[in-house]
Structure 1
Amino acid sequence: MAGTDRTGEWISGGPAIVLVEPQLGENIGMVARAMANFGLSDLRIVNPRDGWPNEKARAAASKADPVIDGARVFARVEDAVADLSYVTATTARPRDSHKIVIGPAEAGARLRARMEAGQAAGILFGRERFGLSNEEVDLADEIVTFPVNPAFASLNIAQAVLLMSYEWMRSGEELAGRPRFDAPAAPPADKADLYRLFDHLESALEERGYFFPAERRAPLTHNLRNMLTRPGFSAQEISALHGVLRALRKAPRDAS
């Protein structure tokens, strides 16, 4: 659709868009174009199959060069979201998870509220072929799914980003009538702090034989991470939990 005004203000900012192992440069370029359409600029790419930078991505972006030029590449999902405090994961498939599931409009409003409160936020998008793994969804706070035809639910990555980007921009209008002020809340911890708590807790449980036999480790870890991502811990609460774990690790192990 034509209508671009090159003299207009270039809107930027918004939540981080995190693409997990995208395959085609063209798809990344179309994602960048969708982001630019709705004022998003923080593109993060985890292990792009065809490497980065990618000229096919730039060509498909149709002049969304600021998004392409600012894109950052990461080796792991954990690294890509480490500085964020609120992360949603998009998926079309039901998950073995107790995370809250919301639609794109509600997700846009929640992202807007978080970011206007000074919190860094982002959205995870999975691979073209099979989306996000359960382990990657475990790293997010909530799940976003789209109201699509159940007999044909698959969206390509650019479509999914376009829908979420649109809801992000639209949420700015929907939240215009909010109260002028609200009770202050403790800022949530960055994901890097939460993931360090995962490691601390799991290593402490390993010492105490919690993951015995070995085949119990994956489902137990999945359940623990689901529980720990739900509350939205503050940095102070994460610090307190580390202190609890350190104290428990000093305690003598029960011989029984």
Structure 2
Amino acid sequence: MAGTNSERILLAEGPAVILVEPQLGENIGMVARAMANFGLAELRLVNPRDGWPNEKAEAAAAKADHVIAGTTVFATLEEAVADLNFVYATTARNRDGFKPVRAPVTAAATLRARFGAGEKTGILFGRERWGLTNEEVALADEIVTFPVNPAFASLNIAQAVLLMSYEWMKSGMEDVEATPFQQVDQKPATKSQLLGMIEQVEEALDARNYFHPLTKKPKMIDNLRAVLSRPGFTEPEISLLRGVFTSLDRFSRRWAKGKGPQSGEGQDDGNDTASE
């Protein structure tokens, strides 16, 4: 998809994302990219295997430079969460009631509320191969787990961070169905405008002997009007369609009046009447 846009406001707030002993630099970079996509910026690493900074992480971050540049490294998880007021731990494993378990949407709402109250929050993500230990989960306040296929529940780090980052951004939107693309407001067509278009179509079809046999014409017109009145056209749509119908109508009426094709318009194939 499209990359960054320097003309837009860069969102950079919210909970810290904490990766515990991440192994691959590429995964760290993809996490940074996922965070940047949805407005998170604070990335904390606990004892990354390949050290930091990491060129592979920078390459995989796809221009999420502000996340990479602000990344901090800690020797232990205790140090990484020391200044935080509230922490979630992500896990796909059943922890036997070890902590309250929340769905992502609930967790994001809680994080948003605590962020609004001025608290510092974080989300823990475990190792690529085996996640978080029980001791590490114990440092969190609650657990967040994702509704996934129980027979294939494993998510990689970037996927998990992406899901939580998305829920974080959505929790701050007044309209959860909103998109970044603004809809152009278009005035609905009036019944008079709609009727004018329908009458234009009927006249054009009548000129081409579409309503055949005549005994069926009333029913055919009723069906036509039912179809054309269904979509709920806007004024620009009515204008567009009437322009199209006018263009086609000029061509069809020349034929219907026996003038034959104009130069370059082709030859009559004998199938000009729609009802034939």
User: TM-score, normalization: structure 2?
Assistant: 0.62
Aligned position for 1:58: 58
**What whole-Å deviation, never above 9, does each CA across 1:62-93 have from its counterpart, x for those lacking one?**
00000000000001111001000100000000
Counterpart-to-counterpart distance in 2, 1:108 and 1:174: 14
**What whole-Å deviation, never above 9, does each CA across 1:157-178 have from its counterpart, x for those lacking one?**
00000000000000012599xx
Secondary structure, counterpart of 1:67 in structure 2: helix
Counterpart-to-counterpart distance in 2, 1:168 and 1:91: 17
Percent identical among aligned pairs is 73
Partner letter of residue 168 of structure 2? W
Q: Are the counterparts in 2 of residues 91 and 131 from structure 1 also a CA contact under 8 Å?
A: yes
Partner letter of residue 95 of structure 1? R
Aligned position for 1:46: 46
With over 3 angstroms needed to count, the CA separation of the structure-2 counterparts of 1:174 and 1:129, relative to structure 1, is farther
* Alpha-carbon distance, 1:56 to partner: 0.3
Aligned position for 2:143: 143
Aligned position for 2:73: 73
Aligned position for 1:214: none
Partner letter of residue 102 of structure 2? I
Aligned position for 1:110: 110
User: TM-score, normalization: structure 1?
Assistant: 0.67
How many pairs does the alignment contain?
176
Q: Which protein has the larger Cα radius of gyration, Structure 1 or Structure 2?
A: 2
- Equivalent positions of 1:178-193 (< 5 A) are none
Counterpart-to-counterpart distance in 1, 2:105 and 2:64: 25
1:96 maps onto 2:96 in alignment? yes
- Equivalent positions of 1:121-200 (< 5 A) are 121-173=121-173
**Displacement over 4 Å in runs of 4+:** none
The higher-RCO structure (CA 8 Å, 6+ apart) is 1
Partner letter of residue 65 of structure 1? D
Q: Are the counterparts in 1 of residues 86 and 141 from structure 2 also a CA contact under 8 Å?
A: yes
Q: Are the counterparts in 2 of residues 86 and 120 from structure 1 also a CA contact under 8 Å?
A: yes
* Alpha-carbon distance, 1:4 to partner: 3.2
Structure (1 or 2) with the greater helix fraction: 1
Counterpart-to-counterpart distance in 2, 1:119 and 1:102: 19
With over 3 angstroms needed to count, the CA separation of the structure-2 counterparts of 1:56 and 1:139, relative to structure 1, is same
For structure 1, the 5+ residue unaligned runs are 177-256
After superposition, the CA RMSD in angstroms is 1.4
Counterpart-to-counterpart distance in 2, 1:168 and 1:174: 13
For structure 2, the 5+ residue unaligned runs are 177-276
Q: Are the counterparts in 1 of residues 4 and 63 from structure 2 also a CA contact under 8 Å?
A: no
Secondary structure, counterpart of 2:44 in structure 1: strand
With over 3 angstroms needed to count, the CA separation of the structure-2 counterparts of 1:97 and 1:174, relative to structure 1, is farther
With over 3 angstroms needed to count, the CA separation of the structure-2 counterparts of 1:139 and 1:175, relative to structure 1, is farther
- Equivalent positions of 1:31-42 (< 5 A) are 31-42=31-42
